[in-house]
Structure 1
Amino acid sequence: MNARAALCLALLLAAACDRGPRTAAGAPPPGPRAAAATFAAAAWPLPASGVAAQPDLVAAPDGSLLLSWIEPLGRGHALKFARWRDGAWSAPAEIARGDDWFVNWADVPHLAVGADGALWAHWLRKSAAAKYAYDVVLSRSGDGGRRWSAPIRVNDDGTPTEHGFVSLWPAGGDRLGIAWLDGRRTGGGHGGHAGHAGAMSLRAATFDAALRRHDERELDAMTCDCCQTDAAPTARGPLLVYRDRTPEEIRDIVATRLEGGAWTGPRPVHADGWKMPACPVNGPAVAARGDAAAVAWYTAAGGEPAVKLARSDDAGERFAAPATLDRGAAVQGRVDVAHAGDAVWALWLREDARGQALQLARWTPDLRRETQRLEVARLHGRGRATGFARLAVAGDALHVVWTDVVDGEPRLSGARVQARR
């Protein structure tokens, strides 16, 4: 059986394996099951047909989806993207290429659409010979991705240290908001895996159409060193989530929001109390609609891996007690989350003796009840090689993309999740 046929079979089997609804405590709800739509996953062919990895998937305001990925290119790499609109993909287009990039399974490039319709992209470029010496660079396209500006460096500290794990959001007008983990005080060490002089910090800024920097500031002077950040626009301003770090090595998830030109102080999404002396490389994800926000994350507090999901009804001021989506040794995290009108969807990864599997759960908007769970796909790869899957909503369908390893090569795969008709 070839790889494509195997994927299709896996998706069909997965669609048949959905579980019944669950309450926030993980037990089946009492009484008869309410009539509700059930969802199934089907293969979604992607335009990246060759060796590719590090996907990003973004829903645009016009209802289209933007997919980006990295391809090897001789001695370097190329960042490419394509747009899904009206049931078809545009031809892949190149954003940038280079032979001095930092390419990593967890710290991947992102796309964003500005309020003025411009496209923005970031990637990582080596700044010195040290393994973790690299900068964030940013480029803009005002014509739908046909031409891209010369990249500018987002961090301007000039230190040969780590800068990455970026979040992007539209900042109004022609501006883009950007946050990143900044290693200017680490003295060249990398996270909790090697000794360093200082802590990783979190910084944010905005850039305008001329790629001029505005309002740069430090948001947190001590964060987890190599966990993804994420941001979502709310009715009160962009909400940014990340894994914090205390001097006692507690690495829980916190949130901050930009409102009225000022960032709020970091607020815990939930006090897991996870004491972790090294970076787990497992950041949170956030989705928002109006004042409603949902955050998904991984923790191993108490020695038990788990994926949790919490809701805020006031744009991140306060979060309710979380629901536990999954727990146990097989839980790997690598989460994503999306709002889809009448539901919140959460995505995460499991790995057991049979291999890796992408799990998807659908919850009521108040996060009081899980209405369906799907195994989206069984992967061929294991460990870090499969990276982080992404999901986004377009129309009446949820879309998932991920990296798999087929015949020893990284390849992109996709699935569409829709109500059964």
Structure 2
Amino acid sequence: MVAVRCAGLLLAALLAAGSAFAQHEHKAHGEGKKGRPPPPELGATAAVDAKGAIWAAYAEAGHVLVRGSDDAGKSWSAPVRANPAAEPIGASGDSRPKIATGPGGELYVTWTKPLAKPYTGDIRFSRSLDGGKSFSAPVTVHTDRQEITHRFDSVAVNAAGQVFLAWIDKRDQVAAGKGYRGAAVYFAVSDDRGASFRGDFKVADYSCECCRIALLPRADGSVLALWRHVFEPNIRDHGIAQLNADGSAGPLRRATFDDWRLDACPHHGPSLAAEANGRLHAVWFTQAPGKAGVHYGRLREGGVDAQRRVGGDAAEHADLAIDGKRVAVAWKEFDGTKSRLRAMVSEDGGDKWREHELFATGEASDQPRVLVRQGRFHVFWHTRERPLAVVAVP
């Protein structure tokens, strides 16, 4: 796993190694230390469809595999390849295959295909219109075909069935030369269930180079994007903007205010969810002085309400979901021996919380994902010990 196990050691590692995280991620597919097998690439994502089935996408031997479960992860269907021909696939850290479901049972899968040059990639897309039995031939979504960074893709589907795909892009850095902070956020939209895409539409300059983007469909058909942004001169807090189906984007607004100053990328993106009334909830990571760790808060214009630390000093890679007024946050936390999957639940919109430990593993593990299935929270956690594990939150 690219992810550093102890959040308390993250800043020191970054300062010592600069962009070592990104360099590690772009090792050739299958490369490991001399004489040892390569570490497992466990990056995976899960989504729940309208009927309550859980769908998971993950990488194995150059293929993105998709499997479904009708019984909350107790059993899974046989894997189906989203890409018939093997190719490099980013499947570690904040880079991983993604899956989203459409209102008609469509399955949409995206991933980053690393290219020959370090830190470069293409955003790939495939769809299934027959309930996961087969997938379309994968295509590259963006029209820009330079061998540069197009990476850290995220996918979301609005209520009308339009598919939004966002990614981190360095075309503007290449064009500007020196003096450009980080990268940029771009997106594309499909109006025909993924048969074609319109784009590339720019959201904002100066995003962080290698943190995942959180996407949240809204009732009006737009999608909110939350990402780690590089505010002047080197403040890596978070920005938020609205993506519209016509290709326009709302203004960038600052979403978190920790003042984390860093000249490197922490590979630690945020997550975003909303109540029915539109109130936004988020989890994110910072190493700002006096605030180091994972944080939860309710986002508002110009500030954050109810901000609080999540877990202990080693907490990392949190995710959240909302069902009515109920909020669930999950994260993993390394205790020196095992990675522990933990969760906390609020019944009142994020004011009071109860905490649970769900399980622990001494083997390699991915980042957790919180799902809402039939009115109950579950956590999807892909580990070497328990692949495609789904754990109900008490």
TM-score (norm 1): 0.75
SS in 2 for 1:248: coil
Structure 1 residue 142: Cα displacement:
1.5
- Tell me which residue corresponds to 1:417: 392
| Count, aligned residues | 346
Which one has a bigger Cα radius of gyration? Answer: 1
SS in 1 for 2:289: helix
Structure 1 residue 398: Cα displacement:
2.2
Q: 5+ unaligned residues in a row in structure 1: which ranges?
A: 1-50, 189-194
Where does 1:144-293 land on structure 2 (aligned, <5 Å)?
Answer: 144-171=131-158, 173-187=160-174, 199-207=182-190, 208-209=192-193, 211-236=195-220, 237-258=222-243, 261=246, 262-290=248-276, 291-293=278-280
Structure 1 residue 113: Cα displacement:
1.4
SS in 1 for 2:43: strand
SS in 1 for 2:124: strand
Structure 1 residue 345: Cα displacement:
0.5
Q: Which amino acid aligns with 2:195?
A: L
**Structure 1 residues 389 and 418 mapped into 2: Cα distance closer, same or farther (>3 Å)?**
closer
Q: Which amino acid aligns with 1:209?
A: R
Q: Which amino acid aligns with 1:379?
A: T
- Tell me which residue corresponds to 1:395: 374
Aligned residues of 2:110 and 2:154 also touching (Cα < 8 A): no
Greater share of strand: 1
- Tell me which residue corresponds to 2:307: 323
Aligned residues of 1:202 and 1:218 also touching (Cα < 8 A): yes
Q: Report Cα offsets for 1:100-146 as digits up to 9, x if no partner.
A: 3133312001111123432111122233x213221001112211122
Q: Is residue 379 from structure 1 mapped to residue 365 from structure 2 by the alignment?
A: no
> Pick from 69, 81, 102: which aligns with 1:114?
102
Which is worse superposed, 276-285 or 394-403? 394-403
Q: Which amino acid aligns with 2:254?
A: P
CA distance in 2, matches of 1:297, 1:143: 36
CA distance in 2, matches of 1:158, 1:345: 40
- Percent identity over paired residues: 23
**Structure 1 residues 196 and 160 mapped into 2: Cα distance closer, same or farther (>3 Å)?**
farther
SS in 2 for 1:404: coil
Q: Report Cα offsets for 1:229-287 as digits up to 9, x if no partner.
A: 11112224322111011231101122212358442212222211111111010000012
Aligned residues of 1:166 and 1:230 also touching (Cα < 8 A): no
Where does 1:15-94 land on structure 2 (aligned, <5 Å)?
Answer: 53-72=42-61, 77-86=62-71, 88-94=75-81
Structure 1 residue 303: Cα displacement:
5.6
Q: Which amino acid aligns with 1:245?
A: V
Aligned residues of 1:134 and 1:160 also touching (Cα < 8 A): yes
CA distance in 1, matches of 2:194, 2:68: 25
CA distance in 1, matches of 2:194, 2:391: 37
**Structure 1 residues 386 and 303 mapped into 2: Cα distance closer, same or farther (>3 Å)?**
farther
- Tell me which residue corresponds to 1:21: none
Aligned residues of 2:45 and 2:56 also touching (Cα < 8 A): yes
TM-score (norm 2): 0.79
Aligned residues of 1:235 and 1:289 also touching (Cα < 8 A): no
Structure 1 residue 164: Cα displacement:
1.7
Q: Which amino acid aligns with 1:224?
A: C
Aligned residues of 1:242 and 1:254 also touching (Cα < 8 A): yes
Structure 1 residue 307: Cα displacement:
1.5
Q: 5+ unaligned residues in a row in structure 2: which ranges?
A: 1-39
For the aligned residue pairs, the C-alpha RMSD in angstroms reads 2.6
Structure 1 residue 62: Cα displacement:
2.3
**Structure 1 residues 197 and 90 mapped into 2: Cα distance closer, same or farther (>3 Å)?**
same
Q: Is residue 311 from structure 1 mapped to residue 298 from structure 2 by the alignment?
A: yes
- Tell me which residue corresponds to 1:123: 111
